[in-house]
Amino acid sequence: MGEQEKNAPMTDSDSSTGATSALASETVVRHFRQILMWPLRIMPGQLEGTRIPKHWEAIEAAADACPWQELRDEFDDPKSFQQRHYKEFITFLPFVQRCLYGQGSASSPRGGLDSALRVFRRRDIAQMRVTLDRHHAPWVLQIAHVDLYFFYDTDIIIPVVEVFADDVPLSVAEDLLFKTGRAYPAYWKPDGRAAQCPYRVEWLSPTGDILAVSDYEDQQKFLEFTCQHRSPNVAAHWAYLLEPLALHLSDCGGVIRFRQIEYHRMPLLAYLSFDDPKVLTRGDFARLALITKAGPSDSLPI
């Protein structure tokens, strides 16, 4: 297969080729949703001369050249503030409200102190195409949002990626949960494939163009970086998603440099809906609760 053909955008009919037989033979997740949260540490000393660092200002300074744009909440416009926003607000205790939403002032209800959070969003990534195994058809997950959370006076950022799909076989859903949130491979199999990682991950634009592709199989890249820097590298598609932020000690230029906190698996939240949850076995529940790889429903994960 030529490079141009291999990288050509895939249609919905192509992406569902492997789903038909699977849907007919096993439990189906009617709605699948996964939220990946990747805590990272900003390297200190990047904003010289500031008593309290506001790292998001480096993103704001890039303006239109940066894919991350600040996300304004509903408090900025009373006309868009609805009952569901009110119910969400009062769910939290007052000190949490002030942290998340900021604090108004008596003279100007819409003014006052800023929130301790600043959220930036990318809108150029529309889909995540995941090939779980070399011999399986890819699955196209829709992007709900790609956000980047900054915290006032704290050297921590959290990229958050939320994806979803409908009518996903349970075994595929289990492997999506198990494999997609991998910052880098844990090891490689004898044939060169990265273990416990998808075979291929692609970020797709709203028009279906490929924006970035994973490189989990590039064993030499990860080995050399770790040997030289005593720190693991990150897969290419995750590095692309974070631009113009860059991994500490990498050769990539970046307005902000970060270091990893977690190991190769990203924390996640998941939501799965079924026509009848009672069809799930003890083994199914165990795999979903422990986020293990797919396996037979009539057995527990090993």
Q: In the chain, where are the structural domains located? A: 3-51+122-290
More confident residue, 121 or 17: 121
Does pLDDT of 1 surpass 90? Answer: no
Q: What is the mean pLDDT of residues 258-284?
A: 95
Q: What is the mean pLDDT of residues 182-190?
A: 96
d(CA 117, CA 97): 11
Q: Report residue 74: phi and psi, to 5°.
A: -70, -15
Q: Which of 293, 13, 297, 265 is closest to 133 using CA atoms?
A: 293
pTM of structure: 0.83
More confident residue, 249 or 145: 145
d(CA 188, CA 213): 18
Does pLDDT of 302 surpass 50? Answer: yes
Q: Report residue 295: phi and psi, to 5°.
A: -165, 175
Average of per-residue pLDDT values in the chain: 86
User: Would you state the structure tokens that stand for residue 255, as one six-digit string?
Assistant: 């307005």
**pLDDT for 18:** 44
Q: Mind listing the pLDDT tens digit for each residue in 109-118?
A: 444 456 778 8
**DSSP labels, the chain:** --HHHHTSPPPHHHHTTTHHHHHHHS-EEEEEEEEEE--EEEPTTSSTT-SS--THHHHHHHGGGSS-EEPP-GGG-GGG--HHHHHHHHHS-HHHHHHHH-B--SS-TT-SBPPSEEEEEE-S--EEEEE-STTS--EEEEEEEEEEEEETT-SEEEEEEEEEEEEEEHHHHHHHHHHSSBSS-S-B-TTSPBTTS-SEEEEE-TTS-EEEE--TT-HHHHHHHHHHHSS----HHHHHHHTTEEETTSSS--SEEEEE-S-SBPPEEEEEE-S-GGG--HHHHHHHHHTPPP--TTS---
Q: Are 102 and 74 in contact (CB under 8 A)?
A: no
Does pLDDT of 262 surpass 50? Answer: yes
**pLDDT for 5:** 39
Does pLDDT of 7 surpass 70? Answer: no
Q: Which of 192, 196, 117 is closest to 149 using CA atoms?
A: 117
Q: Mind listing the pLDDT tens digit for each residue in 245-261?
A: 999 888 887 788 999 99
